[in-house]
Amino acid sequence: MKRIITFMLCICMVISLSACGHPQSATKKETIKIGYLPITHAAPLYSEKELNGANIELVKFGSWIDLVDALNSGRIDGASILIELAMKAKEKGIDVKAVALGHKDGNAIISAPEIDQVSDLKGETVAIPHTLSSHNILLHKMLKENNLTQEDINIVEMTPPEMPSALASKEIASYVVAEPFGALGVTLDKGKVLYQSEELWPHSLCCALVLRSDFIKHNSEHAQQFVTNYLKAGKHIEAHEDDAKSFHQTYLNIDEETLNLSLDWISYDALRIEKNDYQELTNSLIEMGLSDNPPTYEAFVDSSFIDHAEVNE
């Protein structure tokens, strides 16, 4: 009996040591879990899921805070996220890589009908979704261009779905946010466009697709296929308007008029993160005191997946 027990213990030790010697097999995944908020900025994810989605699990979150917590803790493998929040996570030691953009443009500054010019916002309340956001940077640029500062207005953080109704009730005088909530303020006849993002910040960066580095390390082929399909999905919805509307309506509760206007403001066919654009973003974060040491382009952006996808087109 003692010999049998000794033999079984040896077998268990061999299995245990073998597993320790192959950590990749323990972390390799069949399905990639990607977090998102239900906004038009995440449209390439919706498109990819509908077109190629057997190996993708989209995980919906109600707030950026909850999404960031899931990304940082490893409960999801990646996310469509405000790029500034991902940069802050990287700055704090969370090893994530930005592999593509979520979209281009599509961040209108919406104001109440009686606001005719930026100076009319002096002393008024303006809503943004998060201090660490391109929306806050766009607001800063608009004020600066019109000889105002953020101290001249009252800035509040508000969840995107609340903003159109807050404008309608005159709780706020203006807001800047991801789509479709800018377009919704317009189609409800409660607001108007004061500026489009490209007027204030050409080639602005907003939402990015990020992946955890540990996922990339142990699932490189899966990550490559995912990003390749993601880029194709973005181009598909640019070229197929009916599909774009159908995919959005699967993931967003949005009326057709608002969706049409929202899609007019946004594009998905050029999703590479360019170094010059990233540098302007980091300069803005430093200027506004939002980051002391933002990650460098080389440390944060991984363009290898896009490079590989473009070479093999």
User: What pLDDT score does 27 carry?
Assistant: 59
**Which neighbouring-strand residues pair with 125?**
154
Evaluate if residue 11 carries a pLDDT over 60.
no
Determine the Cα–Cα distance for residues 164 and 100; give it in Å rounded to an integer: 29
Determine the Cα–Cα distance for residues 233 and 59; give it in Å rounded to an integer: 18
* pTM of the complete model: 0.88
Confidence class of residue 18 from pLDDT cuts 50, 70 and 90?
very low
Determine the Cα–Cα distance for residues 157 and 251; give it in Å rounded to an integer: 24
Determine the Cα–Cα distance for residues 47 and 28; give it in Å rounded to an integer: 25
Dihedral sign for Cα atoms in the order 291, 293, 295, 296: positive
Can you tell me whether residue 55 is helix, strand or coil? helix
DSSP category for residue 226: H
Q: What is the phi/psi pair of residue 235, to 5°?
A: -65, -35
| Domains in the chain, CATH or no CATH each | 31-104+206-311 (3.40.190.10), 109-200 (3.40.190.10)
Q: Per the omega criterion (within 30 degrees of 0), is the bond before 44 cis?
A: no
- pLDDT single digits (tens) 245-265: 999 999 999 999 999 999 999
E strands, 123-213, are 125-128, 154-157, 174-176, 192-195, 207-212
Confidence class of residue 15 from pLDDT cuts 50, 70 and 90?
very low
